[in-house]
Amino acid sequence: MAEAGDSLGRVLLASVYPLVSTRALARPFTYEVPSGTVKGAVVAVRLGRRATRGVVADVGVEPPEGIEPAPIERLVGEIPPLLVDLALWLADYYGSTPARALELVAPVRRAPRGERPSPGARDALPGEPQPASLTAEQASALERIVAALDVGVGDHVLLHGPTGSGKTEVYLQACAAALDRGLGTIVLVPEIALAPQTVGRFRQRFGDRVAVLHSSLGDAERRDERDRIASGEARIVVGARSAIFAPMRGVGLIVVDEEHDTAYKQDSDPRYDARTVAAKRAALEGAVAVYGSATPRPESWARLDRVALGMRIGAPLPRVTLVDLRREAGYPLSAPLLGALGELADGGGRAILLLNRRGVAPAIHCRACGLTRRCGRCDVSLTLHSDGALHCHHCGHVEPVPRSCPACGSVDLARIGAGTQRLVTELERRVPELELHRLDADVTARPGAVREILAGFMGADRAVLVGTQMVAKGHHISGVSLAAVVDADTGLSLPDFRSEERTFQLVTQLAGRSGRDAPGRVLVQTFQPDATPLRHAVNHDVEGFLAGELERREVLGYPPFRNLVSILVSGPEPGEPLAALRELRERLEDARVEAELLGPASVLRLRGRHRAQLVAKTTRPRTLARHASALLAAASRPMRRDGLTVVVDVDPQSL
């Protein structure tokens, strides 16, 4: 790439998007660039009095009428041109700005800091050797994917089958086929907790050609990995959702593992869904996108070409037993669960216990007046942690546990429910023979922590892994003979149309961790044994559950039959978000948008701000989001004056 001020001179005009967050500047500007500058160049520019970076979106444009373009200051980097197109599409679809989307593909490049070990080598768990042969179903699935690779026009496949049916081996051999054809592979996992095992498997086969990208990497590590990808040294990328923006050229295969997982949705602007972005990148690259899951989303089941792996390899699926907590005195450890853990303590083996709540107890309750201690800034109860303090899991507020009720003065305060910390304490008391390991957000923030916890569990003779939903996600661990859902009702009562889907997925996924190489059993503790998702989970009945779920959603007009767009307004005063959304609804109705509008309605106050939400069901989400964003932009000045902020979320994963 030519440098500014070189012998070729500045003879071209380019369309450049400055990387500034102001929506008023969310458009391209014309600059002079050196000859040889290409689409995807990252440049330093002046925008008024401000110095900023920009990304070249087009070269050889016509000069704007009546304006003399300024020259760029210098060239600072380059990204593949295709990523510019991907970012601009993302900004349009999700109602973000081009600058915010382009920052995903062109992050700030940090200065080198000397030699460091590869994060892949540091964090990877041991991988398994390649099997002598594939099953007939695996061979058929691989043939289907390789045939699409050879066509090279873009394809999307749902690879589904029970846990242990060999999906990962299909990924690995499809990746080898892509490499043989000179093509690269991006492998997405929903959480960083899954990265060590996945990286280990790919490094076992492909060595240093594997790079890692996720949010736990340091700035210098991330820069080093991006450099290896951009140079072509690493032709395989493994990472969480942001890895879909890897600066790789010639992508032939994109794998979205555990595609049902909601962690693929970004919860800040741009609110992209990596699964949808993967489909778009595959289309732009002419690549094959493979979506894999034992419990596919209803959207994927309805829309994608299915390739099935019908049977678990080497062992049958474990027997699942519901434990009716209405008939049990013990909580969180029922008599059947304690009995199963006792057998483990006597005979050896490993167990995984899922409790999808952190802390000691999710609430402190006054027995005298009924008051539950709540966060002063959020409409949620405070969670008791083992440090003896009450924590808000939304805003981070921490306060000491009161000695008496602040409302009535009673000292009769009860701990309601249980979290992972209390579960560990109960296990230490009831089955001290078992080695305990905990995996939740409170213990995994430190780099390398996930690998250490999983390695310790895998190396123990008699051990229990306790954790939140991350323990159910894709871990392949030998010797697990018992898996238990301590409280299957946690998500069933949530006011969200996906609550039954998520409960089914969580229970079925955890069940799949048991009995991969030996007879296994699964216990599911619940107060609602007749609930639809649990009835299907007991029988590992994925197709039956999805058939019923799709029938229900078609009647109600939920995805995949219509898309959702959520518009959330927050502000310092309780009535203003509702008033703003009522006015927005009237404007949308006047414009005759093609949508069913629900609300607005007040939702939980968070971080001291009152919130309200308007939800739209539509078959044209981009059009609706664009229309709503334009109306909100027109009202931005009075909204800022009133302290109101707005979030437009296309395809939200929670309501």
In residues, how long is the chain? 655
Query: Which residue's entry shows tokens 């949508």?
Result: 595
pLDDT of residue 113: 64
Amino acid at 549: E
Q: Are 516 and 315 in contact (CB under 8 A)?
A: yes
| pLDDT reading at 443 higher than 70 | yes
CB burial readout 282-316, b (16+ within 10 A) else e: bbebbbbbbbbbbbbbbbbbbebeebebeebbeee
pLDDT of residue 10: 46
CATH of segment(s) 119-308: 3.40.50.300
Q: How many other CB atoms are there within 10 angstroms of residue 567's CB atom?
A: 29
Residues 6+ away with beta carbon under 8 Å from 363: 372, 373, 381, 382, 383, 384, 415, 416, 417
C-alpha pair distances (Å), 236 with each of 80, 159, 480: 16, 20, 30
d(CA 624, CA 425): 50
Give 127 or 485, the one with higher predicted confidence: 485
One fold for 119-308 and 319-359+418-554: yes
**Topology given in CATH for the domain delimited by 10-105:** GIY-YIG endonuclease (3.40.1440)
C-alpha pair distances (Å), 577 with each of 215, 571, 639: 33, 6, 10
Cα dihedral value 78, 81, 86, 92, nearest 10 = 90
This prediction has a pTM of 0.91
The 10s digit of each residue's pLDDT in 83-116 is 999 999 999 999 888 999 999 999 988 776 667 7
d(CA 535, CA 546): 13
Q: Grade residue 490 by pLDDT with cuts at 50, 70 and 90.
A: confident
The 10s digit of each residue's pLDDT in 193-223 is 667 888 889 999 999 999 999 887 888 888 9
CB-based burial of residue 89 (10 Å sphere; 0-12 exposed, 13-18 middle, 19+ buried)?
A: middle
DSSP 608-620: TEEEEEEEEEES-
The 10s digit of each residue's pLDDT in 605-617 is 999 999 999 999 9
C-alpha pair distances (Å), 6 with each of 2, 9, 51, 57, 302: 7, 6, 21, 22, 55
Highest mean pLDDT among 15-24, 55-64, 121-130, 410-419: 55-64
pLDDT of residue 114: 65
d(CA 187, CA 103): 21
Q: Grade residue 321 by pLDDT with cuts at 50, 70 and 90.
A: very high
The mean per-residue pLDDT over the stretch 253-280 comes to 95
> Nearest 5°: phi and psi at 549?
-65, -40
| pLDDT reading at 360 higher than 80 | yes
DSSP 187-242: EE-SSGGGHHHHHHHHHHHHGGGEEEE-TTS-HHHHHHHHHHHHHTS--EEEESGG
Query: Where do the domains of the chain lie?
Result: 10-105, 119-308, 319-359+418-554, 563-650
d(CA 565, CA 615): 6
pLDDT of residue 127: 78
Q: How many other CB atoms are there within 10 angstroms of residue 547's CB atom?
A: 14
pLDDT of residue 94: 92
Q: Are 503 and 393 in contact (CB under 8 A)?
A: no
The mean per-residue pLDDT over the stretch 611-635 comes to 91
% of the chain with per-residue pLDDT over 90: 62
% of the chain with per-residue pLDDT over 70: 97
**Topology given in CATH for the domain delimited by 563-650:** Alpha-Beta Plaits (3.30.70)
Q: Grade residue 474 by pLDDT with cuts at 50, 70 and 90.
A: low
pLDDT of residue 79: 96
Give 513 or 339, the one with higher predicted confidence: 339
Which of these ranges, 250-254, 480-484, 625-629, has the smallest mean pLDDT?
Answer: 625-629
Structure token digits, residue 197: 């095992």
| pLDDT reading at 344 higher than 60 | yes
| pLDDT reading at 476 higher than 80 | no
The mean per-residue pLDDT over the stretch 415-428 comes to 90
The mean per-residue pLDDT over the stretch 322-341 comes to 93
pLDDT of residue 249: 97
The mean per-residue pLDDT over the stretch 557-584 comes to 95
CB-based burial of residue 448 (10 Å sphere; 0-12 exposed, 13-18 middle, 19+ buried)?
A: middle
Q: How many other CB atoms are there within 10 angstroms of residue 156's CB atom?
A: 20
Q: Are 612 and 590 in contact (CB under 8 A)?
A: no
The 10s digit of each residue's pLDDT in 524-548 is 999 999 999 999 999 999 999 999 9
Identify the CATH homologous superfamily for domain 319-359+418-554. P-loop containing nucleotide triphosphate hydrolases (3.40.50.300)
pLDDT of residue 118: 77
- Report the DSSP beta bridge partners of residue 312: none
Structure token digits, residue 55: 């990304």
